[in-house]
Chain A
Amino acid sequence: MSQDTVKRERPWLMRTYSGHSSAKASNELYRMNLGKGQTGLSVAFDLPTQTGYDSDHPLARGEVGKVGVPIDHIGDMEALFDAIPLDQMNTSMTINATAPWLLALYVAVAERQGVDPSKLEGTTQNDVLKEYLSRGTYIFPPAPSVRLTTDLIAYTVEHIPKWNPTNICSYHLQEAGATPTQELAYALSSAIAILDAVRDSGQIPPERFAAVVGRISFFVNAGIRFVEETCKLRAFGALWDKLARERYGVDDEKQRRFRYGVQVNSLGLTESQPENNVQRIVLEMLAVTLSKNARARAIQLPAWNEALGLPRPWDQQWALRMQQVLALETDLLEYGDLFDGSPVIEAKVQELIAGAEAEMARVAEQGGMVQAIESGYVKRELVVSHTRRMRDIESGELKIVGVNCFRETAESPLTAGADAGIMKADVQAERDQIAALQAFRASRDRAAVADALAQLRAAAVGGANIMPPSIACARAGVTTGEWSEVLREVFGEYRAPTGIDIALAGQAGSAAMDAVRASVRRSGEELGRPLRLLIGKPGLDGHSNGAEQIAVKGRDAGFEIVYEGIRLTPSQIARAAQEEGVHLIGLSVLSGSHLELVEDIQAELAKIGAGDVPLIIGGIIPEDDARQLLARGVEAVFTPKDVDMNAIMTRLVNIIRRRNGLEELA
């Protein structure tokens, strides 16, 4: 059949999650990507923007422009979308705690472009609940966070009708270790918590509530077990349809449709033999495209080298081309659903539905998702799942090619170049951004800023919808840090449960684990007291899987572990190390700001007279940086390719032994 006789489905939106250094540099990247056939934008913000700090805040040091674009005020937002007409763009923004603020800036920029805000299309992620479980860019306690989410939803349903106000994320749950069943259960339980809150806020009349349900979309992960993942997405659709119908009484079938975007799994991408990630990404893409009835509305693919460092434009182009080849060259879009009527698929779907409903009932029994998060229940369940996964990888039961089997490899030409196959961050970007921010602040109408902030505070205190005063703040030149600070003062800040207080049975019969325990115990006896390890997550990065797994493993090995969760300042870490008398500090940094943070922590330790405590670090750390860190006195650098946890523990013991003048153990 020739192509013009067959009715092809319209392809999904093709995006690349991107943004770095500055608004101007990101704008150039966006325009280049759109020129290459990308059909939507997916904005990555840097961590200060995501956690509500201006670029010149002390906590922002080293983080500005690292994992995304810094947006301090309307001027930055305007530069980000320069020459990109917003009425013709579909923009997805990965933004949560500060979502109302970034949407307010987007609206204000649309106004400046002469675009009617009601015509805007796109998505704000706006799912803070999962931030307490994974990723960690929350700011406020759960109750005010849910209120801000609710305000944004209520506002867009009335004023920006084509906007997807919240993208309930199962993506990050999978990254935090969730099984498919847990992904389904916790994402849907989150959706219930949010929809109930919108309903109970009274901001939407009951007859318009179906429209709210119809605007809820999801952001899903697809892992390498792509058959099961296909089934998971079919189960998602069935469960959502039922929920919308039964719990919220939505009659219109279109408003009950499970709409989702996807980023395929980055957790499973490997640092060893990174070229293998290409086939992983392609297979994972199949999981979200093969079944027409469960096909993604928007897809963004990671680059093959994400586990090594920052992808270059060429790496992102390769990811986009994968989508284009599947959508345009293959015949996939010419057929109806390939799986309808398959008893194999249907059985798996039903199994997932049953498991998810059982877990949803357990969450509901505890009073709902917010309560189950606050009590630490959900986080503990995820840490248990993730710990199992790590154990299976370590034991070889879960095979990862190039990591725990088939590790021999020829030298890869992909990483042999002068740039080692990754992009170098622009070290000047942070200084430039800070200078520009300070100039912007000096140029504002101060009275207008103060007035806009006073109105924001009044709404936050009084309970009026937060969006209108936020948009007024955006117009007046308020900064990201100022907007957030007002809400911090009104709502307070929060620390989420770490979930590492789990009781897992020890690994019975593992000789390697027994040996590690023996060496930890013996070293503790030789040093007069049990070995103590402080695990610190400095900076704004909230990806805490690595820190949590080391904490759990360390305790199993017999260490006394001090772990205080995410987002600590160098001073907090140094002081905790001293007060707790630890033998070793382990840092975890995934945002790329490891050089600055290590420098700051070493300086703090020296300042308070604790410079003799040895330091190790784990994270996504390019080899060049690792060499620099070792040269500066860091005892060891661990990266995602270090999966043998017993070997890691033995190294920690030996670092402590060496530092205390004891001979190393085998």
Chain B
Amino acid sequence: MTQPAFTLDPARLAAAVRRGERPALAQALNLLDDRRGDSRRQAAQFLKQLQAGETGAEGHLIGMTGPPGAGKSSLTAALIGVWRRRGLRVGVLAVDPSSPVSGGALLGDRLRMKTCADDDGVFIRSLACRGEFGGLSAEVWPMSLVMLAAFDVVMIETVGVGQREIDVSRLCDTTCFVAQPGSGDSIQFLKAGILEVPHVLVVNKEDMGAVARRTLSELGTALGRAHTDGDWEVPVLSASATAGTGIEALADTLAAHGKVIRDSKRLHERRRGYAAQWLLKRLQEEFGGHGITRLGGERAILEQLAGDKLSLFEQLEALRQRLLAEHQFPR
């Protein structure tokens, strides 16, 4: 594919993304996925332009996670239906695992998220997590920025067991954990403390009856406490993507949490936080833990970032240059 001319002009691409033009969205996502050096530099320029527009501030970034088979995609599909009826435009980033042997992946989530074919208000991009054992790859955050520039609600859906679920919560305004009825997994996570992360818990498949009700009560009694974020008591909901029940309430609850975050004026601070996490991840990917140490450790980097007036991408470039200049990392 020869790249259309506007990709060469970051400002024009950013403007087209903000207008929600689908070819531009696709191009921007392809660009952010592209690991070639030239593309990386273009991507940084593009993101700088995109952030200069201050868009996305009103958008709601939601992480959806949970064990395989819990029905996350069906639930996402049902939520898309509700959001569309409410006039909201929706972007989805669906993260699937890839094969450690071949690097290949099956990106099958679209199947379960089937919505009206000709609806310009929905855009789904699948991502393979490409060897990032347990974690989300570094492309996810900048891609979510692109989506936020064009859509009212952006959902990052990921098979979450352990690290990946913590990762997604570090990227999103609101994290929703989908529990599978009858599986001990959810309770196990809870005991391990992992379930302190999500803001909303939902037991899917309430049409299964007693099994779902038992899981619901286990989660409810085991949790029922305020989120570490403050100002928010974690609700435990029941829904069925198949039967279409409890979806409106789930959408309401997600929106309510989004409002709490916005009203508390912490949104900007939180999103700076995602950005810093992304920067660390990029450095980690390129230079390993050793590189982070050489820069004085995570905490020092984050402190330095907070006091810096440079854009994030310029900061990243500056830190990279510092490390490269030390000749410790011949490229």
Contacts and interface: CB of A to CB of B under 8 A. Distances in A.
A660 interface: yes
B126 A580 contact: yes
Contacts of A661: 2
Interface string A512-556: 000001001100110111100000000000000000000100111
B264 interface: no
Contact of B104 (A554, A569, A583): A554
Nearest to B33: A529
Contacts of A612: 1-2
Given A495-B114, A581-B125, A560 B98 contact: yes
B124 A559 contact: no
Interface stretch (A63-71, A246-254, A333-341, A570-578): A570-578
A558 B103 contact: yes
A495 B36 contact: no
Interface residues of B, number: 35
A562 B25 CA distance: 18
B23 A609 contact: yes
B105 interface: yes
B110 interface: yes
Interface string B97-118: 0110111111110111010011
Contacts of A575: 22, 117-118
B251 interface: no
Contacts of A583: 1
B108 A555 contact: no
A562 B117 contact: no
A557 interface: yes
Interface string B126-143: 101010000000000000
A579 B2 CA distance: 17
A157 B111 CA distance: 39
Contacts of B279: none
Contacts of A521: 103
B35 interface: yes
Given A528-B35, A569-B117, A557 B104 contact: yes
Interface stretch (A269-277, A357-365, A439-447, A498-506): A498-506
A506 B22 CA distance: 37
Interface residues on A, range: 35 or more
Contact of B123 (A495, A560, A579): A579
Nearest to B110: A564
B328 interface: no
A226 interface: no
Contacts of A551: 106
Contacts of B112: 495
Contacts of B103: 520-521, 524, 530, 558
Given A579-B123, A609-B23, A610-B23, A659 B107 contact: no
A529 B34 contact: yes
Interface in A304-337: none
Contacts of B102: 506, 517, 520, 555-558
Contact of A555 (B25, B26, B29, B106): B106
A608 interface: yes
Of B29, B34, B39, B126, the most chain A CB neighbours within 10 A belong to B126
Interface string A577-598: 0111101000000000000000
B125 A580 contact: yes
A565 interface: yes
B106 A561 contact: yes
B110 A576 contact: yes
Given A555-B99, A579-B123, A612-B2, A530 B128 contact: yes
A580 B112 CA distance: 15
B30 interface: yes
Nearest to B39: A528
A155 interface: no
Nearest to B242: A141
Interface in B21-48: 22-23, 25-26, 29-30, 33-36, 39
A571 B118 contact: yes
Contacts of A554: 104
Contacts, number: 111
A576 B118 CA distance: 11
Contact of A581 (B33, B98, B99): B33
Nearest to B24: A609
Nearest to A568: B117
Nearest to A660: B1
A638 B283 CA distance: 45
Interface in B3-26: 22-23, 25-26
Contacts of B124: 579-580
A608 B123 CA distance: 13
A12 interface: no
Contact of A572 (B22, B26, B108, B117): B117
B105 A561 contact: yes
A612 B125 CA distance: 19
A136 to B, nearest CB: 14
A314 B292 CA distance: 77
Contacts of A608: 22-23
Contact of A580 (B36, B106, B107, B114): B107
Contacts of B30: 529, 581
A466 B126 CA distance: 42
A560 B128 CA distance: 7
A563 interface: yes
A108 B210 CA distance: 46
A564 B108 CA distance: 6
Contacts of B108: 498, 500-501, 562-564
A562 B96 CA distance: 11
Nearest to A661: B2
B275 to A, nearest CB: 22
A561 B107 contact: yes
A571 B116 CA distance: 10
Interface in B66-97: none
Nearest to A505: B101
A561 B104 contact: yes
A661 B106 CA distance: 26
Given A528-B34, A572-B117, A564 B111 contact: yes
Contacts of A562: 107-108, 110, 126
Interface in A448-485: none
A613 interface: yes
B111 A498 contact: yes
A609 B22 contact: yes
Contacts of B107: 560-563, 580
A530 B105 CA distance: 10
A578 B98 contact: no
Interface string A103-138: 000000000000000000000000000000000000
Contact of A556 (B35, B104, B117): B104
Given A560-B128, A580-B125, A500 B106 contact: yes
A557 B34 CA distance: 20
A625 B105 CA distance: 33
Q: Please list the 10 inter-chain residue pairs (A to B) with the smallest Cβ-Cβ separation, ordered nearest first.
A: A528-B34, A555-B104, A609-B23, A528-B36, A572-B117, A558-B102, A581-B30, A529-B33, A558-B104, A558-B103
24 contacts: A500-B106, A500-B108, A506-B101, A521-B103, A528-B33, A529-B33, A530-B130, A554-B104, A555-B105, A557-B104, A560-B128, A561-B106, A562-B107, A563-B111, A571-B118, A572-B117, A579-B22, A580-B107, A580-B125, A581-B26, A581-B29, A583-B1, A660-B1, A660-B2
Given A500-B106, A563-B108, A609-B23, 16 more contacts: A506-B101, A528-B34, A528-B36, A529-B35, A555-B102, A555-B105, A560-B104, A562-B108, A563-B106, A575-B117, A575-B118, A580-B124, A581-B33, A610-B26, A612-B2, A660-B2
Interface of A: 495, 498, 500-501, 506, 517, 520-521, 524-525, 527-530, 551, 554-565, 569, 571-572, 575-576, 578-581, 583, 608-610, 612-613, 659-661
Interface of B: 1-2, 22-23, 25-26, 29-30, 33-36, 39, 98-99, 101-108, 110-112, 114, 117-118, 123-126, 128, 130
